[in-house]
Amino acid sequence: MATIRMLQALDYDAAAKLSDDVFRNEKQMSMAHSFSYLFSPITAHSFGAFEEEELLAHMGLLPSVVRIGRSRLPVFSLGSVCTSEAARGKGFGTDLLHKVQDHVASTGGVMMFVSGGRSLYTRNRCYPFGQTQIYTVTADANITEEAGVTARVLTENDCFAWYELAQQREAAFDLSLWDMHGLEHGGAFASCVMMKPKVYVLERKGHITAYIYILFPSAKQQDAAPRVYEYGGAAEEVVYLLQLVMKQKQITAAQLYVPWQETEVSTCLRGYSSEEEPNQGTLYVPSMERLFRYMQNWWSDQGALAAHIQVTELEGGNVRLEYPDTASVELTESQLFSLLFDPKATDILPPAWPSAEQLKITIPLPYTIGLFYV
């Protein structure tokens, strides 16, 4: 009979070994290095399934905070979900996930980002969410460095300027200066796809005005394009920086991942081809009432009528929404997810309710691949 519990300090070495056995080959660094926060008893809240104190299955769980304007959302990220070969097919996954979800709810977590989208998650209240535009940026042959402008790799001297730019992002994981440099060093997602991560900055007359977090293909990935998963600074500066880096590295095309709310960046890139995808992974929300409470500051600051909506959780997972002087409406959890996280969702609320432009209810979330990735 397996025991499912939170990992204790001495369990994390076994968790890293199991994860390495499942996810790594001999050429890749240990998960304990690339995902150091996830395999630390100081920061992680991970769970495992044990038989006679042997770890057979693991779910890595890491708490953090997402910043959306003035709103601060306590969240978790779930990753490094794996089962030893001998224990597969025993049904540990569902029991582990339910234990993790109970923990997220009991700690006051507002949501949990899940790095996967398989049926284990989608049948247990985890839903696709968000919208991301992936632009293929082609090299501009006419681009030149302006006087007093340099595109270069981040150095130690840039630490405060880089942090300040990251703090200006509207929707982002709320990272400390220490976090940012630790995550840059770990290169979590880059290690999974065997690419080489770098942070480049744009220096204009002695001031850092933009940065990009870019992953370069390895020598064996000759047909792959570099990918920019995170950036900061004014939109025009970000695109200019990318073009300068492409010129320096003789790159013909690169991919830039832009969440739906980053409209200024999208405007700068409108001349390039793009593809649309949901955010990476799936999302779990333990309590819609709790989520609405935490979003009040954001909605109020945007002048959004969504700030006046009252939500009540009903049996069976449905929710009731109420708006002043308007008939209430009952939605399934799936419908409410679309309303809250899909900027193109339509025909969910009755015609008598305020329009989507008036409600401004869609919640902007950061893209879940970047410096921070679980």
Residues 157 and 265 in one domain: yes
Residues 70 and 37 in one domain: yes
DSSP string, 237-265: HHHHHHHHHHHHHT-SEEEEEEETT-HHH
For residues 46 and 6, the answer to whether their CB atoms sit within 8 Å is: yes
Residues 122 and 136 in one domain: no
Largest Cα separation within the chain, whole Å, is: 69
Residues 291 and 336 in one domain: yes
Q: What are phi and psi of 160, to 5 degrees?
A: -75, -40
Domain that holds residue 271: 132-277
326-331 sheet: strands from edge to edge: 310-313, 319-323, 326-331
**Residue 325: predicted pLDDT:** 95
Last residue within a domain, chosen from 222, 256, 277: 277
Q: Is 145 left (phi over 0), alpha (psi -120 to 50) or beta?
A: beta
Give the three-state DSSP class for 112: strand
DSSP string, 157-181: GGHHHHHHHHHT-SEEE---HHHHH
> Helices marked H in the chain — which ranges?
12-23, 31-34, 92-106, 119-122, 159-167, 177-186, 188-193, 235-249, 263-268, 288-294, 296-301, 333-341, 356-359
**Residue 34: predicted pLDDT:** 97
Give me the CATH number covering residue 169. Answer: 3.40.630.30
| Assigned domain for 367 exists | no
Hunting for tokens 């940065």 — which residue is that? 211
Residues 243 and 166 in one domain: yes
Hunting for tokens 């996954």 — which residue is that? 93
Residues 141 and 271 in one domain: yes
Instruction: Domain count for the chain, please give it.
Output: 3
Low-confidence ranges of the chain (pLDDT < 50): none
| Assigned domain for 195 exists | yes
**Residue 86: predicted pLDDT:** 82
**Residue 1: predicted pLDDT:** 78
What is the model's pTM?
0.96
Last residue within a domain, chosen from 237, 253, 277: 277
Last residue within a domain, chosen from 81, 104, 127: 127
Residues 141 and 159 in one domain: yes
